Amino acid sequence: MNEVMTQKVAVIDELKAKVDSTNTAVVTEYRGMTVAQISELRRTLRGHGADFKVFKNTLVRRAIAGTPVEPMTEFLEGPTAIAFVNGDVSAVAKTLRDFSKSTPTLVVKGGVLDGRVLTLKDLIALADLPSRDVLLAQLAGLIASPMRTMAGLMKAVPQSLAYGLSALIDSKGGAPVGATKTEEAEAPAPAEAEAEAPAAEATTEEAPEVASDEVTAEAEAPAPEASEEAPAAE
């Protein structure tokens, strides 16, 4: 008798420890499943962070009373095996759904997610969701996409600016640099400039020189008087 009580206490303590570690669980009925099938399902679920184990309903009710997973009490009918989930609940739901298709003796009944009741319909919806890794990859893609777009725009802006400036310069008849080259082309070559220089000097030498005395005389000549006395009237 004492041994039975000890076993019951041990199971209740185990259940309380599981509830302390997670508030998500899925309840199934395993009637008609073989030990080999239960072991295979347990290994698969362990890979998704879930601990699948058979429990007596009376002990489960006592262990989860007053806890966030207490709402799953409504599913505790018949031979019960519970998957306490510490990983991806959608992956666990998918595994249970797929396994029940190949093994109809496994019946998925419902569960609880963070204190909220999960119906069979809810679990099927979770099973249809992509896995956590896929969702994270999709989220990363959504975040990276605007960043790639922004990087492309930042790269395109200088290019567009350069093309715009080039078009503007062409519409104005060419760049100032081109004008400078044209002026340089029209300017006489150094050899031509030197050739024209003697001609300029010769012209200067052929011009008659004005005597300095004549210039001085003209400057010192008295200006005509503005008026002379008119002859007296008769």
- CATH code, domain with 115: 3.30.70.1730
* pLDDT at residue 3, rounded to an integer: 82
Please say if the pLDDT value at position 85 is more than 70. Answer: yes
188 found inside a domain: no
In DSSP notation, 75-98 reads G--SSEEEEEESS-HHHHHHHHHH
* pLDDT at residue 143, rounded to an integer: 72
Measured from the Cβ of residue 82, the count of other Cβ atoms closer than 10 Å reads 24
220 found inside a domain: no
Beta-ladder partners of 83 = 26, 52
189 found inside a domain: no
Q: Which residue has the higher pLDDT, 218 or 110?
A: 110
Least Cα distance to 87 among 140, 26, 8 occurs for 26
* Domain extent at residue 168: 132-174
Structural domain count, the chain: 2
Helix (H) or strand (E) holding 52: strand 50-55
Please tell me whether residues 101 and 140 are part of one structural domain.
no
Task: Give pLDDT tens digits for 150-165.
Answer: 566 555 555 555 555 5
Please tell me whether residues 12 and 61 are part of one structural domain.
yes
Task: Give pLDDT tens digits for 31-78.
Answer: 999 999 999 999 999 999 999 999 999 999 999 999 999 999 999 999
Please tell me whether residues 147 and 118 are part of one structural domain.
no
The answer, as to whether pTM is greater than 0.85, is no
Please say if the pLDDT value at position 7 is more than 60. Answer: yes
* pLDDT at residue 200, rounded to an integer: 41
Please say if the pLDDT value at position 89 is more than 80. Answer: yes
Mean pLDDT of 115-143: 81
11 found inside a domain: yes
Query: What SS3 class is residue 118?
Result: strand
Please tell me whether residues 168 and 101 are part of one structural domain.
no
Please tell me whether residues 48 and 37 are part of one structural domain.
yes
Beta carbons of 37 and 103 less than 8 angstroms apart:
yes
Measured between alpha carbons, how far is 86 from 100 in angstroms, rounded to an integer? 21
Q: Specify the range with the lowest mean pLDDT, choosing from 20-29, 51-60, 169-178, 180-189.
A: 180-189
36 found inside a domain: yes
Beta carbons of 41 and 99 less than 8 angstroms apart:
yes
Please tell me whether residues 123 and 169 are part of one structural domain.
no
142 found inside a domain: yes
Helix (H) or strand (E) holding 50: strand 50-55
232 found inside a domain: no
Please tell me whether residues 156 and 63 are part of one structural domain.
no
* pLDDT at residue 215, rounded to an integer: 41
For residue 53, report the phi and psi dihedrals to the nearest 5 degrees: -155, 150
